[in-house]
């Protein structure tokens, strides 16, 4: 009996010990858990929050709509349309062969290219395709593939395509300006992107909009000085001229002489800014602004204007032209149409190299250099356009007599077409030069007097003689209007020597009695039946000027003229010297 009693008491004592051990163990565990919770939620909370955010919280950019580029009449030249990008997280995505094919089919990509982008490369983030149509992007997301995401944005479109490509330019996949006006006015057009913090589930769907981090601001619209109708005409006529003359390239600049506004600026060859995946540098060059050439005889009016300003000559002063030949040192200057003497006005009308050279050599080199630099040669036009060329005018102290003589008729000096056009505005605007503008002008900027109004009118009168039947450019005449202008034909300088390739040009304005429009035409390396400016570039000027003046409702100042009754220009134009 005693043994049984003792055994029961022992069991009771053992049970109590086990209960206490269990209690202590539970208390210790709860204390450990409480401590761990305090550590995680107090000391280590930031780290855990960060890891959680990486899995579910996202900061998404809210793209800003880029500003519209319009012509002076409000017509859109560049607009933004919604487009999306498809990107993936390499760590989260795993596709079957069938899924690769389905995804590639929607994105119009090769399945192997999709697989390569998802499985190779550095980093977790990868774009599969940019600028996808929203409806296509939604079809991709409807596939329900884990690790695949959609990013909203905009795509730039250009309604006028090739016509305005070199002027307007284009943007890249991130909607940043790369060329032309798009690059020049990037700060104004681009606006500023916004940002929001959101919570996404594992499939990339937004389940909670947490907060706004930064508000987006759309870009500002830009209104250009260009008239879309005139731009269309300029592009069409230039393309036809380059094709007809089998030329390498060409450019046209049209200015409003009263305001300095660029009404049109066209180049050919062209490119389509809506399809810019495979563009080369040659296609992108805005030749009217970035390329320079020796202007040839289009520079003679500035030589004559310098001499008139200094009082060395008058329009009727007779210049001995030595039978169309003049020797300086070991070099000989020749005229295409020899004569023993010409008046200053006839030097311009018949484009005499000898006459221009004799007038230039009678002037101090510095005086001639001052004229060239005063009209902007050797300096950038300051349009803010990317790649603006300044051309070249050598310092006058280094000029040799033969160099001073040849520069008088545009050899040994280089200019861009936009520079040449701007320089000619002094003859169309009473000797005053205004800054050029690519944006619409409400109040013209103050001008700078370069030559006297008298000299400007005298040179303008001489330039009118150029388009007469006895001049070098009767093909530049415009029915109903008095026209003033000058031809140019220059050998091209290649690898340090002149070759039998040419640049043909014509610069002129109308109506000559009260100039409103100035047009400069350049045709590079014409290879047709002629290469002279009067036969290649002047017809382009004539067609353009007639249409532009009518479009702007400029009243005729010579209603009795019948320019279109003239014989074909190839049979009437006198070739100018080169």
Q: Which residues pair with 491 in a beta bridge?
A: 502
Which is the catalytic residue, given 225, 297, 414, 505?
A: 297
Compute the residue count for the chain.
Answer: 578
| Per-10-residue mean pLDDT, the chain, length 578 | 51 63 83 77 66 61 83 95 80 79 85 81 77 83 79 86 94 87 93 68 56 75 97 97 96 97 96 82 88 96 97 96 92 90 96 96 96 96 90 94 95 96 97 96 92 98 96 95 96 87 97 97 94 96 97 90 48 52
**CA–CA dist 489, 492 (Å, integer):** 10
In the residue annotation, 225 being an active-site residue is answered as no
CA 426 to chain centroid, in Å, comes to 26
Between the alpha carbon of residue 346 and those of residues 305, 320, 326, 349, the distances in Å are: 14, 12, 17, 5
Q: Where in the chain is the domain with CATH 3.40.710.10?
A: 228-276+287-571
Sign (positive or negative) of CA dihedral 507, 524, 435, 380: negative
Tell me if 464 sits within 8 A of 482, measured CB to CB: yes
CA gyration radius, the chain: 37
**CA–CA dist 249, 19 (Å, integer):** 101
**CA–CA dist 459, 315 (Å, integer):** 8
> Encoding tokens for residue 335?
């005229």
DSSP 211-260: EEEE--BPPPPEEBS--HHHHHHHHHHHHHHHHHTT-SEEEEEEEETTT-
Tell me if 62 sits within 8 A of 196, measured CB to CB: yes
- Prior bond to 511 cis, omega within 30? yes
Phi-psi region of 167 (alpha: psi -120 to 50; beta: other; left: phi over 0): alpha
Tell me if 352 sits within 8 A of 577, measured CB to CB: yes
Pairing of strands 206-214, 148-157: unpaired
**CA–CA dist 526, 506 (Å, integer):** 14
pLDDT for the residue 60:
61
Q: Where in the chain is the domain with CATH 3.90.1310.10?
A: 59-94+114-223
Q: What is the 3-state secondary structure (H, E, C) of 473-492?
A: CHHHCECCECCEEEEEEEEE
**CA–CA dist 568, 554 (Å, integer):** 26
- Helix spans in 70-227 (H): 97-107, 111-119, 134-141, 165-168, 180-184, 186-190
| CATH topology assigned to domain 228-276+287-571 | Beta-lactamase (3.40.710)
Q: Which residues of 451-483 are buried (b: 16+ CB within 10 A; e: fewer)?
A: beeebbebbbebbbbbbeeebbbbbbbbebbbb
Residue carrying the six token digits 């090739």: 162
For residue 268, which of 417, 415, 389, 380 has the smallest C-alpha distance?
417
**CA–CA dist 291, 176 (Å, integer):** 25
Sign (positive or negative) of CA dihedral 434, 435, 441, 445: negative
For residue 532, which of 502, 508, 497 has the smallest C-alpha distance?
502
**CA–CA dist 265, 269 (Å, integer):** 13
Helix then strand then coil, in percent of the chain rounded to 5, is 40, 25, 35
Q: Supply the CATH classification number for the domain 59-94+114-223.
A: 3.90.1310.10
pLDDT for the residue 344:
97
415 DSSP assignment: B
CB proximity list for 102: less than 8 A, separation 6 or greater: 143
3-class secondary-structure state, position 373:
helix
Phi-psi region of 386 (alpha: psi -120 to 50; beta: other; left: phi over 0): beta
């Amino acid at each position: 009996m005693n043994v049984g009693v003792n055994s029961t008491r022992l069991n009771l004592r053992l049970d109590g010990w086990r209960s206490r051990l269990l209690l202590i163990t539970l208390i210790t565990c709860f204390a450990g858990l409480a401590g761990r919770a305090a550590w995680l939620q107090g000391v280590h909370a930031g780290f855990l929050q960060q890891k959680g955010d990486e899995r579910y919280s996202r900061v998404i950019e809210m793209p800003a709509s880029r500003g519209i580029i319009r012509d002076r009449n409000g017509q859109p030249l560049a607009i933004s349309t919604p487009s999306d990008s498809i990107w993936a997280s390499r760590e989260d995505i795993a596709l079957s062969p069938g899924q690769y094919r389905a995804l590639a089919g929607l994105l119009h990509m090769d399945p192997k290219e999709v697989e390569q982008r998802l499985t190779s490369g550095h980093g977790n983030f990868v774009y599969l395709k940019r600028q996808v149509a929203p409806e296509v992007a939604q079809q991709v997301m409807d596939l329900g593939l884990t690790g695949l995401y959609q990013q909203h944005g905009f795509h730039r479109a250009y309604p006028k395509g090739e016509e305005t490509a070199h002027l307007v330019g284009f943007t890249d996949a991130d909607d940043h300006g790369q060329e032309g006006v798009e690059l020049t006015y990037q700060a104004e057009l681009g606006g500023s992107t916004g940002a929001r913090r959101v919570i996404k589930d594992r499939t990339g769907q937004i389940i909670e909009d947490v907060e706004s981090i930064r508000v987006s601001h759309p870009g500002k619209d830009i209104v250009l000085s260009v008239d879309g109708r005139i731009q269309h005409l300029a592009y069409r006529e230039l393309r036809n001229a380059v094709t007809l003359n089998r030329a390498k390239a060409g450019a046209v600049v049209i200015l409003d002489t009263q305001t300095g506004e660029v009404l049109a600026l066209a180049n050919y060859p062209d490119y389509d800014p809506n399809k810019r995946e495979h563009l080369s540098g040659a296609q992108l060059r805005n030749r009217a602004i970035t390329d320079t050439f020796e202007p040839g005889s289009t520079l003679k009016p500035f030589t004559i204007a310098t001499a008139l300003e200094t009082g060395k000559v008058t329009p009727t002063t007779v210049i001995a032209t030595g039978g169309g030949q003049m020797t300086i040192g070991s070099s000989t200057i020749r005229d295409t149409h020899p004569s023993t003497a010409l008046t200053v006005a006839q030097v311009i009308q018949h484009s005499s190299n000898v006459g221009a050279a004799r007038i230039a050599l009678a002037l101090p080199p510095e005086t001639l250099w001052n004229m060239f630099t005063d009209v902007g040669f050797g300096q950038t036009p300051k349009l803010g356009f990317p790649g603006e060329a300044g051309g070249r005018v050598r310092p006058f102290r280094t000029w040799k007599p033969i160099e001073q003589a040849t520069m008088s008729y545009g050899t040994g000096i280089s200019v861009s077409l936009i520079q040449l056009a701007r320089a000619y505005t002094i003859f169309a605007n009473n000797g005053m030069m205004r800054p050029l503008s690519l944006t619409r002008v409400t109040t013209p900027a103050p001008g700078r007097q370069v030559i006297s109004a008298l000299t400007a009118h005298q040179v303008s009168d001489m330039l009118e003689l150029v388009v007469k039947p006895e001049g070098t450019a009767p093909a530049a005449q415009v029915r109903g209007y008095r026209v003033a202008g000058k031809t140019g034909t220059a050998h091209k300088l290649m690898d340090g020597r002149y070759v039998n390739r040419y640049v043909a040009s014509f610069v002129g304005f109308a109506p000559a009695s009260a100039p409103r429009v100035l047009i400069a035409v350049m045709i590079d390396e014409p290879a047709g039946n002629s290469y002279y400016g009067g036969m290649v570039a002047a017809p382009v000027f004539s067609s353009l000027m007639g249409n532009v003046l009518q479009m702007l409702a400029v009243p005729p100042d010579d209603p009795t003229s019948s320019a279109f009754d003239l014989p074909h220009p190839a049979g009437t134009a006198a070739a100018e010297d080169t």
